[in-house]
Amino acid sequence: MKVFMLGWEFPPFISGGLGTACHGLTKAMNDMGLKVTFVVPKPVDSDFSTHVKMLSPLQCSVPKTSADKAAADELLEWNNVKFHMISSPLEAYTTPQYYEQKIEELLSQRTPLSTQSSDIEPDVERWLRETEQIEHIANEHYGGDMYSEIHRYAASAVRLAIREDFDVIHAHDWMTYPAGIAVASVTGKPLVVHVHSTEFDRSGEHINQMIYDIERRGMHAAQKIIAVSYLTRNIIITRYGVLGEKVEVVYNGVEQNGENRPLTFNKIGIQSDEKIVLFLGRITMQKGPEYFLMAARKVLEEVDNVKFVMAGTGDMMHRVIEMAAQMGIGHKVLFTGFLRGKDVQKIYEMADLYVMPSVSEPFGIAPLEALNHDVPVLISKQSGVAEVLTHVLKVDFWDVNEMANKIIAVLKYPPLQLTLREHGNFEVRRLRWSGAAEKCRKIYQDILVQV
Amino acid sequence: MPSVCFYFQVHQPFRLRHYTVFDRSPRYFDEFKNASICRKVANKCYLPSNRLLLDVIRRMEGRFKISYSITGVVLEQFKKYCPEVMSTFDALAETGCVEFIGETYYHSLSFLYSSNEFTAQINKHSELIQQLYGQTPRIFRNTELIYSNDLAETIEKMGRFDAIITEGADHILGDRNSNFVYRPPNCEHLKLLLKNYSLSDDIAFRFSNQGWKEYPLMADKFATWVNRVNGNGQCINLFMDYETFGEHQWEDTGIFSFMSHLPEEVLKHPDNCFMTPSEVVDAYESVDVVDVPHIISWADTERDLSAWLGNAMQSSALHEVYKTEPLIKKTQNEELLADWRRLQTSDHFYYMCTKYFADGDVHKYFNPYESPYDSYINFMNVLGNLKERCDESFGGRSNRMLSKSS
């Protein structure tokens, strides 16, 4: 079976869990012998510009540093997965309507008599050439900009797709849904959309209508929808008007931590008898950073030798720093900024407890990673991962009192920490990507039988 | 022969209320929850079962006998929340066909941690039974049938018990069966009554299991199983939780009707009879020694202590409770003593069990907490407050900061 997979990010160019999930899933599919063609846009985010561009075997770029070479080698070892990078998105001087019109045109030419992909290839090429030659014009409106990027990606994906041989299309999150729909329309292959997050998780009730519309269209166009939790499945059914029978739940996994972790490390700026409570994630409304701070203040009323570390960045960062200062606990809260690689590992090694107070979390891979690093975990009940983890502490994100109560208990009673760590680590070993990949394969098989 | 010996365990713990580290109230127990559970179980089980058995005893005119072990903590709750249950037990006691068995008042694991506390709680329980039912228990059963040679020795030394009831676990019996009276290796006088777990569990667990090949179990069929023991056994010890009737096995499974017909069916065979544990002990000599050097219980398939002492939280909570004993006793404060003893009830530690937590089995069903971790946190917060109250009673102020207490 061959899968044409559409993604938006891939390690090391990630801003959240989506890239991690795509990496884990495709790796497991590779091991299982599923042929995957993975299409991602080239990274352009300035945050990542210091890192080399992700390597595509097809483009044969030369790795610049040894670390990147290692990463490249790892990817090259994946015999069954082929990566395609779509060149930097243009801030194209076009309207969304233009792209849609283009797709419509392509479809109209794809008559039942001419199902050969070569027949429409020239048209796709023309379309792409048109977009490439459009002069760069700054676009103030982010949404519009993003929209253009998404459609540029869609057009490129169609170009790749007509030259590829595959059985099923698998699109990850809303950015790739238009591409998924376009590829499905052109090739007639079944579409699976994978919902890692919905607009309601990211924005609460103040949703971006354009994004919602894209999500809704993708979900309705798909033959099957994969939700990362029942929490997300419920949102898909109630908010997007999708029939329940169309939505399957496939939980994320976590990759085995095979590296030997050093036992000694420096706790710079932190006294050795101090406990550390960790928040790791984007500092945005969705992740509930303010509840973490409110709980921290309560904890500090009872316990003194503890520091609260907030690792990550986000649009609420400044507000949260100010909030900590106003609460008078600024000296107890450390901000590390965005961490990656070894730094993430280091911070996990230092932590006594990982807290994920998310207001709405479709899944939440980070707690699995914390458990993989032997760190006990406190998660909000409003997270999908709460459905699969039993050996963790759970709390309603708004129940700051209970959150503090549980944080204190972990700091105060070593047997609690020990039991959570032992059982949690054991439990997380069962949540492997291979299970998720196996479920995806079953879903593919089911829809191919139907078709 | 054989004599069918029924013993029913009656127990409800004082469940704790949600208690955070920020709470300062000296009220630890959830009155509402305890009252409503007590009333619910009374209506589904205790009242209908007591009435049914009372009726059967009267109908059989002294030929049907049973025994109960009722904990002190559940009797306190009956008195407080549903006194009508008390009067039905009174009526049962008056028939002369009902024996009351001794145990620790608080259904505690004190045998494992404090011999002083262990004997004090047994005495407290016996006094209550004497006061309520006019009997001083002659038979002893320990919490969850926890037993070992050492326990036998301790009980023998108390001088007023004739036998101990425990689990007829395969590994202590070897090729023998539980249908005889045995004795511990290190006792002169004491006898052992071992639970026939197979026939007991047929009623307590398998009764309503539609996948069981014997389903549906009728009284006449069960009586034929009893008859089979004839010639190869003295007694059939059917020991089970009283909540089997109406609570674990709901009324619509036919459990009450089964119990109502069982005595007649069993007595159809002229060699069969019903006896209380004391009558069994008086009627039969022990046939052999059963050596139990390591502790056993009736819990789960392991028949060991892992349901109460299986993880670090449980052992820490238990150790911390008994570590407080000198402090509590020094205060000579009855209220603190009662609170402390209620914290010893084994259920609190059972709730902390992580053994089958992820599988969602029987442990979860009886657990008022969302997770074993929540129960441990709650318990430790309560215990922490209790210690503070002790310190305060000496006029001292305890330091609540973690840096000092850990």
In the residue annotation, B144 being an active-site residue is answered as yes
Is the pLDDT assigned to residue A9 strictly greater than 50? yes
CB distance from B364 to chain A under 8 Å? no
Percent of chain B with pLDDT over 70: 94
Minimum mean pLDDT range among A2-11, B199-208, B321-330: A2-11
Q: Specify the pLDDT at position B132.
A: 96
Is the pLDDT assigned to residue B401 strictly greater than 70? no
pLDDT band at A121 (very low <50, low <70, confident <90, very high): low
Q: What is the least distance, in Å, from the CA of A405 to any CA of chain B?
A: 6
pLDDT band at A134 (very low <50, low <70, confident <90, very high): very low
Instruction: Collect all residues of chain A within an 8 Å Cβ-Cβ radius of residue B358.
Output: 390-391, 427
**What is the tens place of the pLDDT at every residue in B5-38?**
999 999 999 999 999 999 999 999 999 999 999 9
Percent of chain B with pLDDT over 90: 83
Give the whole-angstrom CA distance, residue A300 versus residue A290.
15
Minimum mean pLDDT range among A59-68, A190-199, B12-21, B124-133: A59-68
Averaged pLDDT score across all residues of chain B: 91
The arithmetic mean of pLDDT across residues A250-270, rounded, is 61
Give the whole-angstrom CA distance, residue A78 versus residue A85.
16
Q: What is the least distance, in Å, from the CA of B371 to any CA of chain A?
A: 8
pLDDT band at A139 (very low <50, low <70, confident <90, very high): very low
Q: Which of B402, B403, B404, B405 to mutate to test the interface with A (most CBs of A within 10 A)?
A: B402
Is the pLDDT assigned to residue B176 strictly greater than 80? yes
Contact criterion met (CB < 8 Å) for A413 and B380: yes
Q: What is the ipTM of this complex?
A: 0.85
The arithmetic mean of pLDDT across residues A365-387, rounded, is 93
CB distance from A69 to chain B under 8 Å? no
**What is the tens place of the pLDDT at every residue in A148-192?**
778 778 888 888 888 888 999 999 999 999 999 999 988 899 999
**What is the tens place of the pLDDT at every residue in B183-192?**
999 999 999 9
Give the whole-angstrom CA distance, residue A142 versus residue A155.
20
A123-129 LR contacts (CB < 8 Å, sep 24+): A124/A155, A124/A158, A124/A159, A124/A162, A125/A159, A127/A102, A127/A155, A128/A155, A128/A156, A128/A159
Instruction: Collect all residues of chain A within an 8 Å Cβ-Cβ radius of residue B371.
Output: 390, 393-394
Q: Specify the pLDDT at position A142.
A: 39
The DSSP line for B133-196 is HS----EEE-GGG-B-HHHHHHHHHHS--SEEEEE--HHHHTTS-SSS-EE-TT-SS-EEEEE-
On whether the CB atoms of residues B139 and B99 are closer than 8 A, the answer is yes
The two tokens of residue A363 are 């899944």
Is the pLDDT assigned to residue A63 strictly greater than 50? no
| Terminal alpha carbon distance of chain B | 60
Contact criterion met (CB < 8 Å) for B312 and A303: no
Give the whole-angstrom CA distance, residue A2 versus residue A37.
8
Percent of chain A with pLDDT over 90: 47
Contact criterion met (CB < 8 Å) for B402 and A303: yes
Q: Specify the pLDDT at position A322.
A: 95
Q: Specify the pLDDT at position A205.
A: 86
Give the whole-angstrom CA distance, residue B59 versus residue A385.
59
Give the whole-angstrom CA distance, residue A349 versus residue A371.
11
**What is the tens place of the pLDDT at every residue in B115-129?**
999 999 999 999 999
Q: Specify the pLDDT at position A141.
A: 39
CB distance from A399 to chain B under 8 Å? no
Q: Specify the pLDDT at position A154.
A: 85
Minimum mean pLDDT range among A65-74, A104-113, A205-214, A222-231: A65-74
Contact criterion met (CB < 8 Å) for A304 and B357: no
The arithmetic mean of pLDDT across residues A203-231, rounded, is 93
**What is the tens place of the pLDDT at every residue in A278-294?**
999 989 989 999 999 99
Paired residues of B69 in beta bridges? B9
Give the whole-angstrom CA distance, residue B267 versus residue B223.
8
**What is the tens place of the pLDDT at every residue in B62-82?**
899 999 999 999 999 999 999
On whether the CB atoms of residues B38 and B248 are closer than 8 A, the answer is no
The arithmetic mean of pLDDT across residues A407-418, rounded, is 95
Q: Specify the pLDDT at position A53.
A: 28
Q: Specify the pLDDT at position B397.
A: 54
Q: Specify the pLDDT at position A97.
A: 60
**Cβ-nearest to B20 among A393, A394, A405:** A405
Nearest partner of B200 among B251, B236, B245, B171, judged by Cα:
B236
CB within 8 Å of chain A, chain B residues 298-327 = 311-313, 315-317
Is the pLDDT assigned to residue B110 strictly greater than 90? yes
pLDDT band at A129 (very low <50, low <70, confident <90, very high): low
Minimum mean pLDDT range among A78-92, B86-100, B152-166, B285-299: A78-92
